[in-house]
Structures are given as structure tokens and as C-alpha cells.
Structure 1
Amino acid sequence: MSLQDRIDAFKADFEAGKPPYNAPSHIHEPMHRATRELIESGAASRALKVGDKAPAFTLKDPEGKEVSSGDLLAHGPLVVSFYRGVWCPYCNMELQALQEALPDLEGLGARLVAISPQAAPNSRKSVRENKLTFPILSDPRNEVAQAFGIRFKLPDYLIDLYANVFKNDLPGFNGDPSWTLPMPARYVIGQDGVIAYAEVNPDYTKRPDPSQLLPALRSLRERQTA
């Protein structure tokens, strides 16, 4: 089953209010509205694209160790996945799919990192619950996400839903009062720092299969050996 098939099955059960989710029906309209408004804003079109230079970054892993994009790129291409947090089931399914694809990515010489605004304890939980062997890096205040052009602020009505219905305290979860998130995104960055693959979707329920990363990585390898 593809990643999107798994997501679609989860979404159908969630929106139907089936156990164990038992989601109240009134939550779905504002969630759909927020996604629709983010799509219509054109925010995704302003994110970095193929051919753009990727911003360099240095972020901490869940154990507090600094990880730099420059060091990673010294060893080969870099795959970066931006995700919202361990509280998001769609993000967890994506992380699990990336873990499954990791041998294929590494077989083409790539390193993989995930980037999230969540604080280190939540990243440790994400690593543990999703059984990840690649690093999750904390992006305080979504500054790296902003550099890639994918940070956005939640509308007030969605903040109210997150805080009062889901009891999802993003300011506490992320250590940041801004109520901002990254749009889910994946990038492949060549060793020259140029973006070779970019996928940004303002609809967090749409996630491409990790296999779509492979052609860009193969192309980078072919250029390197030519």
C-alpha cells in the first residue's frame, strides 16, 4: 500500500468519527477551510524550487548535538523532510514511509534528515514511536522553514480548535508562542547546494510516496560519475 493510500484510509476513518479517533463532526469544516485558504493564498508557490540555492543550516538533534547541512552535504546529496510534529498522524505515517525507503535513499549516496519546530523531548518521542534511524532536527521558531519559504501562521479559528478541542498546545510543544508551522515539504539538495527536487503541499493530507525522490537522486549520481 502506498503512503497516500494509507493516509487516505486513515483520513476516511477519522472524518467518519470511527474508533479509536471518535472525532466530533464539527471539527472538520474549519480544518478543511484552513487548508483551502492556505492553498488559495499561493504560499506554496513562493517556496524554494528546483534550481534554487538551498539555505545552509545548523540545527540540534534530539540529544543536543549540532548537525550542519554543510557537513551532511560533504558526504553526498541531502534529503530534507519538513514535518509539523509528532502530534500529527499524517506526519508520522510519512516518517515511517521514509524510514522504509531509507535503504534505497542511502543506496544512492544520500543522507536523510527530518526537520520540525517541535522541542527535543517531542523529537525523541517521534524517533522512538516511529522507530526511526535518521535524525530529527529541531527548528526553533521555524526559522529554517522560513528560509525555505514554507512557514505559515495558523488562522485564529484554527488556533482555537487546536487549543480548546484537540488540547494541542503548540506554543508549549514547540517552545514558541507564534503558532506557526511548516507546510509539509521534501527537498533533495545536491552537493553543490542546489535543489534538485522540491515538493511542497499546503494540504497536509497529501504526501507523495518516497519513491518519487529516487529519480532526482539517480540523476545527481549520473552527473557525478559522468
Structure 2
Amino acid sequence: MAETATPIRDRVAEFNGGFTAQIGPRLSDVFATEQADLVAAGVPEKAVAAGDRLPEATLLDSRGESVLLEDALGERGGVVVFYRGSWCPYCNLTLKTYQEQLLPILRDRGLGLVAISPQTPEASDLAVVNGGLDFTVLTDPGNRLVRELGILTEPAAAARAAHTDLGFDVADSNADATGDIPFPTVLVVDGSGAVTFADVHVDYTTRTEVSDIVAALPES
């Protein structure tokens, strides 16, 4: 990768500096406590893992039309990214990084890239437009696929209150009007639907680095 391929962790560190100053110590402490509690609880025991099979799933595209996940991913498989929503700055930062650094590599190898969240198709379209994304972004209404994969969570009550202080609520963006969201997760899936790599992040401020995804891809 080029010298300008800044890792996600460095981009997050830069963002956090400004974000913490912007929201102040009270809200910063709320989010820090939530992140610490998530890390302490750890990855759910039944979370998707390498060796599992990707379930069949019918999702919605940004126009609200049904799409089979296997069709969106393509014959050779590729990378599936679960993110919380376009309201999440860490998600936006990550998807933009994947657009810049991961997508060209996947295209060179004939592999797909699909990002999935529980938000409405309209909100998914917002993520595409604001991020300048040139890969498939889909909606998982009611987190049906996320539930099957064992990666469902929701913001803590104190975090939901902090979100309100910041002027938004997760339920307003979700297709089912709940606060349910996935743990940020990256899967590498082969052409048969088998999961060959799974990385579940309970701390939503950390994400799967492009270098780790590329290392997990099948040989071209």
C-alpha cells in the first residue's frame, strides 16, 4: 500500500482528539465507560467465527429493493462489513478508509465488498453519498442477519442519553425503530459461503485494519 495509506487506528486517534474537546468531559466519560464495559464483557460466545457458513439473507439496497447477500457479494466471495450506521463517526471513517485502501485491492482480485447496517435504506444512501462510497451498502431490517451471526448489541442507556444530548437517537435511523445495532465486524467469505476470517470488535472505536483483511484474503 502507498505511504499515504494511514491505518484506521491513527485516523481514530486524530478524530478522538477533536471529538473529545468538542463534546466535553461529561459526555466523553459516558462513552469511555461504555467502551470499557463492552471490552470487559468481551465478544459474545456465539458470535460468528472462521469455519462458519454465511447464512442466506435477503437485504435491502439504498432504493429499498430486495437483494440477496450472495448476489451482492459475487461468485468469488469477498468481504462483508457490519457497521452501526451513518450516525457513527467511527463507521464513516472506517468505510471511507475501506473505499480508499481496500476496494482497489478487492477489485483487482475479483472479490466483492459489501457493507451492512440496520439503518433505513435512506440512511444507507446517506452513508454512500457522504462517504463517496463506490461499493454495495445494504440494510439488514430488524438485524435479522446480525442476530443469526450472534453479533447483536445496543448502546448503553447512558450512551443513548448522551446521544440525545448530541441531537440524535439511534432508533430514528434504524429500519425497525429500535436501538439494536451490530458489533462492528468484518468477515472474509469464500465463493461457497464459508467464513474464512471473522473479526468482531466490541469496542466500536477500534476497527479491522486493511492490512489484516488483505492478509486474510485468498491467494489471487
Q: Same fold (TM over 0.5)?
A: yes
Deviation at 1:57, TM superposition (A): 1.0
Q: Which residue of 2 aligns with 1:119?
A: 120
1:4 aligns with 2:5: no
Inter-partner Cα distance in structure 2 for 1:73 and 1:172: 28
SS at match of 1:24: helix
Question: Equivalent residue of 2:94, what SS?
Answer: helix
Residue 108 of structure 1 is matched in structure 2 by: 109
Q: Kindly state the Cα deviation for residue 86 of structure 1 after the two structures are TM-superposed.
A: 1.0
CA contact (8 A) 1:184 1:201 kept: yes
Unaligned runs of 5+ in 2: 1-5
1:131-166 C-alpha deviation (Å, 9 max, x unpaired): 011111011121211111111122222222222x12
Structure 2 residue aligned with 1:224: none
Alpha-carbon distance in structure 1 between the residues aligned to 2:72 and 2:63 = 17
Partner of 2:171: 171
Partner of 2:144: 143
Return the letter of the residue paired with 1:120: P
1: CA distance, partners of 2:12 / 2:73: 31
Equivalent in the alignment of 1:210: 210
CA distance in structure 2 between the aligned counterparts of 1:198 and 1:192, rounded to whole angstroms: 16
User: What is the distance in 2 between the residues matched to 1:115 and 1:71?
Assistant: 14
List, as ranges, runs of 4+ consecutive aligned residues in structure 1 with deviation greater than 6 Å.
none
SS in 1 for 2:196: strand
Does the CA contact (< 8 Å) of 1:44 and 1:201 recur in 2?
Answer: no
Equivalent in 14, 38, 43 of residue 19 of structure 2: 14
- What percentage of aligned pairs have identical amino acids? 32
Partner of 1:197: 197
CA RMSD between the two structures: 1.6
**TM-score for the superposition, normalised by structure 2:** 0.90
Per-residue CA shift, 1:190-220, capped at 9, x if unaligned?
Answer: 112111111111111111322322232234x
For the pair 1:180 / 2:180, whether they are aligned, the reply is yes
Structure 1: stretches of 5+ with no match in the other structure = 222-226
Query: What aligned pairs does 1:88-99 form with structure 2 within 5 A after superposition?
Result: 88-99=88-99
**Distance (Å, rounded) in 2 between the aligned partners of 1:99 and 1:4:** 16
Aligned pairs (5 A) from 1:15-54: 15=20, 17=21, 22-54=22-54
**CA–CA distance in structure 2, aligned partners of residues 73 and 121 of structure 1:** 21
1: CA distance between counterparts of 2:35 and 2:196?
27
- Aligned AA (1:212): D
Q: Give the aligned length.
A: 214
